[in-house]
Structure 1
Amino acid sequence: MQPLPSLPFPAYSYKMEEITRSFTKEETTGPVIRYEEVKMDSARMLWYKYTADQEYHIPMRLEKERVELHFKLQGRSGVSYADQHLIMTANQQSIFYQRELEGEYILFPGEESAFFEIEMPMAVFGSLVTDESQFLQNFFHKLQTPRHYLWPGYCMHITPKMHHIITEMHTTTYKGQMKRLFLEAKMIELFLLQVSGYDEEYLQPATLRPQEIDALHAARQYIGQHFAEDCSIISLAGQVGLNQKKLKQGFKVLFGHTIFGYVSHVRMEKAKQLLLDEQKTVGEVAELVGYQHQQHFTAAFRKKYGILPKTLKQ
């Protein structure tokens, strides 16, 4: 296995930049690679193809925090980081969270391999998060946990409509600002298709028995008392004696909130009380209501109340 140098990708810019680059085997002493890249302030989009005669490991280092929409179109490839090892095969798609990531891309020999990916800065992803999607609430909640440096979310098949949109994005004849607007619109459409597919697991109607209703009320009471602690689906299901699927579906049906939406609501209400009634800094309040990072707390508070926490204090 021969190592290859990392490919240089410049930072985001407010103008759209397009790059097409090919590397022959003679140039890289490795696989034949071709990529086409579009970079904007709102996203980086990459169409990537390669053929390899053996397995190659390409070093990677990602310092920024980002969310990636990944679509494996042909063949298979992988990524290795610390004790995590993920391989995706043809026609699979996923949503990743990545931060301070150092590891390797793994290229496998065989037929041509291809993928399309969209990298979103956290500010862009945060603007798309909504309480109406339990998947997004689940995803966003996991971002509060510092151990999730590489979190692959869920993995599902690429639908024919997704394939069509990706092809449209690649072959559009728009130029300049019109192309930028087209790509951003299609990016959001693709994101919505992914999220709606993942949400189907959460939003199926649930039939609740009396003992299950009692358990769900116990879950809500537990959240009210332990909102700053681990209120993950797994731990909450263990606390009240329900399986995870019934807990997620039943909570939404009975209370009209996703679990993570309700946890966020309780945290924000408590934070508002602390900011108004006690002499605590915004950082102290963020920690007291269970946020690892003050910026995540500030974003959540502003999303719910429309003002910054420091403004409320003033």
Structure 2
Amino acid sequence: MKSNYKIIKEKNINHSTKYAKGFKTKLIKEVKNKLEFGSDKAENKEIRLNGLIVGVTTHQITPPFVMEVEHDFPFIKIQFEIEGYSQYIPKNTESIPIIIPQDHYNFFYLPKVNGTLTYTTDTRRSVEILVTEAYLKRAFKNIFHKVSGAFGEALINKTPFKMHNEASKIPSELLLIISDIISCTYQKEIKQVYLESKINEIFSYLFSEINSNGVEKKEAKPSEGEVKQIVKAEKILRNNLDKSFTIDDLAVETGINRNKLKRNFKSIFGKPIFTYLTDLRMEKAKKMLVENSMNISEIAYAVGYKNPQHFTNAFKKRFNYLPSDLRKKGLLANIPEVDYIKEL
């Protein structure tokens, strides 16, 4: 089993990770990796158990950080995006877009992974649980097909599945379990039993949600060509934050009708077009406030606001403090981290 990554920067950088078949291991293993790609840095800790991997990752990067990713095995994953923004866009029809913003999560199954993975913030922290079908069937024994619902059906039919059409806010129940996993200090054999019980607790919660509420109805999946058009629209917005666009402008630029543009953009990126654009502008403005000496009016114009007061209002609504506060009080250094993730 192998995962391949090609990091798209000034030069393409290839990285691969090999795993034992079925993630098999007799005893718990902990693997730590530190990777540097120029100014971009990543720290990853993997806890490998028999049939599953828990990954805790921290990135310090210059966004957008883009990778081509391919796995030669079926992908069953729970992804908790603690800080940052993760976006997977497939190149094939055997997987679906997976967009997870900060403080959100999703549970998904992709029979084949081959696509583009993009991180759009300079700091990213995540907890990811990767499991095999064999592990889940072993954990839930003869009740697996009864409790797994639409997820179990997707496994049988080898069709992509995600629990939430749009990533869901991480519930407090799961935050507590994540904290228990990260802070566990038991020694090997005890730690293995303990962590497996916590993973099973997470899946029990997910299966309960699937069975009690059902999985959200699937929307019509964009075609491969439509995905490329939407990705092009996102790039146009990202590369022209100082300019104004209408839906019709983007439709003409990308060659897709306005209704499909609106519907498919939200399906792929998890937000309406102008909500997404506002978030891009606010993140860029925040970075500019910290890194250069431009005044607030100049920064407002640079991210597409003709009226600086409108920019200030939008910034306050997004971050709950004023642009001037960020500079005067050094708020960026004082914004508290969430306690449960400090072990990262």
Normalised-by-shorter TM-score class? 0.5 to 0.7
**Of the candidates 115, 120, 130, which is equivalent to residue 144 of structure 2?**
130
1:180 corresponds to which of 182, 185, 192: 192
Corresponding residue of 1:104: 116
Task: Note the C-alpha offset of 1:66.
Answer: 3.8
Count of residue pairs brought into register by the alignment = 198
1:139 maps to what in 2? 151
Which residue of structure 2 lines up, in the alignment, with residue 170 of structure 1?
Answer: 182
Task: Please say if residues 4 and 59 of structure 1, whose CA atoms lie closer than 8 Å, have aligned partners that are also in contact.
Answer: no
Asked if 2 retains the 8 angstrom alpha-carbon contact of 1:69 and 1:191, the reply is no
| Aligned counterpart, 1:116 | 127
The residue number in structure 1 matching 2:68 is: 59
User: Where does the alignment leave 5 or more consecutive residues of structure 1 unmatched?
Assistant: 204-231, 235-314
Q: CA deviation at 1:53?
A: 1.4
Quick one: distance in 2 between partners of 1:16 and 1:153?
A: 29
TM-score of the two chains, using structure 2 as the length reference: 0.52
Cα separation, partners in 2 of 1:30 and 1:57, compared to 1, 3 Å: farther
**How big is the shift at 1:4?**
3.9
Taking the TM superposition and a 5 Å limit, the aligned residue runs for 1:204-223 are none
Distance 1:47 1:233 in 2: 30
Displacement of 1:33: 0.9
Partner of 1:86: 98
* CA shift for structure 1 position 5: 2.3
Normalising by structure 1, what TM-score? 0.57
- Specify whether residues 66 and 85 from structure 1 end up closer, same or farther in structure 2 by C-alpha distance, changes over 3 A only: closer
1:143-193 CA distances to partner (integer Å, 9 max, x unpaired)? 2334x2x43232422111211111111111101111111110110111112
* Partner Cα separation in structure 2 for residue 198 and residue 72 of structure 1: 21
Paired letter, 1:28: F
What RMSD over aligned residues (CA atoms) do the two structures have, in Å?
2.6
Distance in 1 (CA, whole Å) between partners of 2:105 and 2:210 is 11
Task: Tell me the CA shift for residue 29 of structure 1.
Answer: 2.3
Deviation per CA, 1:64-111: give whole Å up to 9, x if none. 22421221211111112126432201222221112332223212133x
The alpha-carbon distance between structure 1 residues 30 and 86, as it changes in their structure 2 partners (threshold 3 A), is farther
**Structure-1 separation of matches of 2:31 and 2:85:** 24
Partner of 1:153: 163
Listed as ranges, the gaps of 5+ residues in structure 2 are: 1-7, 220-344
**Deviates further, 186-195 or 78-87:** 78-87
Amino acid across the alignment from 2:210: Y
How far does residue 199 in structure 1 lie from its aligned partner after superposition?
3.0
Deviation of residue 233 (structure 1)? 9.9
Q: Give the counterpart of 1:75 among 75, 84, 106.
A: 84
